[in-house]
């Protein structure tokens, strides 16, 4: 199945995205590079480069996969897509992304959301013009509600990660990073990508390894949601347990499309504890002046605070995908704000 996602499908996705997504900046910070520290043996300084997908439209990289999937659907069935629309179940970034992508394409969109979703998330999806259908929080309720909508309306279901067009869309992140880093005179040798369902990671693996076989791609995962690390260690798929981490975007299991790509191509999976994630998140807010969500800080936590990762020789320019910035400003995970 792996061949469903190739460098060609990712490059095609990139051309579909140009009018719809921001070319987000690749940013450096002396403070963060200093925290990463120099190469252990040579003491050559190393540079950290942050791909700021929190500055992407809808506040996350998810718009890439959503836009690619909907554009491709329109290309293959323009009348059907506009009549029957699309449906997702998501209380998070994928829901907002599909809602906006569908609105721009003139495709009706239904987002199935738990009825206890925060008001700000409901408002965002509604603001993008989608129809919201409320359900219970349990995954089975969401899936059942979604399936009923598919059966009744013929709408196309767009999975948040285990979908070839979504994966190809997410893979465009690495195309941009490699290009931008080279332009800045800092060609990447290492890229850190957070992993949840694995859509972003598998897309980045296909794009990155196809263009630069020696590019080292490291997955970053919360220790409290470490199904990818355990699966890679066991060399067999182990589903995610019940959600425990602060990283609400990284709770889902890998899928039948994403897991084989990750298994075959990821160089390493690094896990970080919750305290390191919050610390990394705060460093980005304080020093880079960017609002990033916990799930987006996991890769930064690896680069700044994972001594095992930092001890590696031969790294020079390390790119990190900072995946999103959708966070409740009234409920921040540090000290007096709790």
Please identify, using beta-carbon distances, which residue of 80 and 333 lies nearer to a second copy.
Answer: 333
One of 25, 38, 40, 45 touching a second copy (CB under 8 A)? 25
One of 286, 308, 311, 314 touching a second copy (CB under 8 A)? 286
One of 8, 30, 42, 44 touching a second copy (CB under 8 A)? 30
Contacts of 274 (CB under 8 A, 6+ apart): 222, 223, 224, 245, 246
Shortest Å distance, C-beta 91 to a second copy: 17
- 66 close to 101: Cβ distance less than 8 angstroms: yes
**Interface of this chain with a second copy, residues 288 to 317, rule: CB under 8 A:** 288-292
The answer to whether residue 91 is catalytic is yes
Rounded to an integer, what distance in angstroms lies between the CA atom of residue 94 and that of residue 20?
16
The Cα-based distances of 102 to 94, 105, 174, 193, 312 in angstroms read 12, 5, 24, 26, 43
Q: Which residue has the tokens 């990821």?
A: 266
Contacts of 329 (CB under 8 A, 6+ apart): 291
**Interface of this chain with a second copy, residues 313 to 332, rule: CB under 8 A:** 325, 329-330, 332
The half-sphere exposure of 102 on its side-chain side, counting CA atoms within 13 A, is: 30
Shortest Å distance, C-beta 112 to a second copy: 24
Shortest Å distance, C-beta 104 to a second copy: 10
Please identify, using beta-carbon distances, which residue of 278 and 318 lies nearer to a second copy.
Answer: 278
What angle is formed at CA 121 by the lines to CA 228 and CA 145, rounded to 5 degrees? 70
- Tally Cβ neighbours within 10 Å of residue 328: 12
Please identify, using beta-carbon distances, which residue of 29 and 110 lies nearer to a second copy.
Answer: 29
50-58, 141-149, 232-240, 297-305 -> range binding a second copy (CB under 8 A): 50-58
Shortest Å distance, C-beta 116 to a second copy: 19
- Tally Cβ neighbours within 10 Å of residue 19: 9
Q: Is residue 282 near a second copy by the rule CB under 8 A? A: yes
Q: Is residue 35 near a second copy by the rule CB under 8 A? A: no
Q: Which of 198, 203, 193 is nearest to 161 (CA)?
A: 198
Shortest Å distance, C-beta 95 to a second copy: 17
**Interface of this chain with a second copy, residues 201 to 230, rule: CB under 8 A:** none
> Furthest-apart CA pair in the chain: how many Å?
64
Q: Is residue 172 near a second copy by the rule CB under 8 A? A: no
Shortest Å distance, C-beta 323 to a second copy: 11
Q: Is residue 92 near a second copy by the rule CB under 8 A? A: no
Please identify, using beta-carbon distances, which residue of 98 and 257 lies nearer to a second copy.
Answer: 98
Q: Is residue 54 near a second copy by the rule CB under 8 A? A: yes
Q: Is residue 19 near a second copy by the rule CB under 8 A? A: no
Rounded to the nearest 10 degrees, how much is the dihedral formed by the CA atoms of 197, 199, 202, 208?
-140
Q: Is residue 45 near a second copy by the rule CB under 8 A? A: no
Contacts of 54 (CB under 8 A, 6+ apart): 60, 290, 291, 292, 293, 296, 322, 323, 324, 325
Rounded to an integer, what distance in angstroms lies between the CA atom of residue 264 and that of residue 181?
26
Please identify, using beta-carbon distances, which residue of 244 and 287 lies nearer to a second copy.
Answer: 287
Q: Which two tokens mark 120?
A: 């700000």
Shortest Å distance, C-beta 20 to a second copy: 11
The answer to whether residue 29 is catalytic is no
Q: Is residue 278 near a second copy by the rule CB under 8 A? A: no
Question: Which are the catalytic amino acids?
Answer: 62, 91
Give the binding site for a second copy (CB under 8 A): 22, 25, 27-28, 30, 54-55, 57, 59, 282, 285-292, 325, 329-330, 332, 334-337
């Amino acid at each position: 199945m792996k061949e469903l996602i190739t460098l060609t499908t990712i490059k095609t996705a990139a051309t579909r995205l140009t009018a719809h997504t921001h070319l987000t900046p690749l940013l450096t910070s002396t403070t963060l590079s200093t925290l990463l520290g120099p190469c252990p043996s040579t003491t050559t300084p190393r540079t950290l480069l942050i791909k700021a997908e929190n500055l992407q439209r809808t506040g996350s990289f998810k718009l890439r996969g959503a836009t690619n999937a909907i554009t491709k659907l329109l290309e293959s069935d323009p009348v059907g897509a506009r009549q029957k629309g699309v449906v997702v179940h998501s209380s998070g970034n994928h829901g907002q992304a599909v809602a906006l992508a569908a609105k721009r394409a003139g495709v009706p969109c239904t987002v199935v959301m738990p009825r206890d979703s925060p008001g700000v998330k409901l408002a965002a999806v509604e603001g993008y013009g989608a129809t919201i259908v409320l359900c219970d929080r349990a995954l089975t309720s969401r899936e059942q509600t979604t399936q009923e909508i598919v059966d009744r309306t013929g709408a196309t279901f767009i999975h948040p990660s285990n979908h070839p067009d979504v994966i190809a869309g997410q893979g465009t992140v690495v195309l941009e990073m490699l290009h931008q880093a080279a332009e800045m005179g800092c060609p990447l040798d290492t890229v850190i990508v957070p992993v949840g369902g694995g859509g972003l990671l598998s897309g980045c693996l296909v794009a990155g390894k196809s263009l630069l076989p020696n590019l080292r791609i490291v997955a970053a995962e919360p220790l409290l949601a470490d199904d990818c690390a355990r699966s890679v260690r066991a060399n067999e798929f182990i589903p995610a347990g019940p959600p425990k981490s602060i990283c609400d975007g990284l709770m889902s299991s890998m899928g039948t499309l994403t897991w084989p790509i990750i298994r075959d191509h990821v160089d390493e999976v690094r896990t970080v504890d919750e305290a390191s994630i919050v610390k990394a998140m705060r460093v980005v807010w304080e020093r880079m002046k960017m609002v990033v969500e916990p799930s987006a800080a996991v890769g930064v936590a690896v680069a700044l605070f994972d001594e095992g990762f930092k001890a590696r020789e031969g790294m020079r320019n390390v790119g990190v995908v900072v995946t999103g910035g959708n966070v409740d400003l009234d409920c921040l995970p540090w000290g007096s704000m709790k």
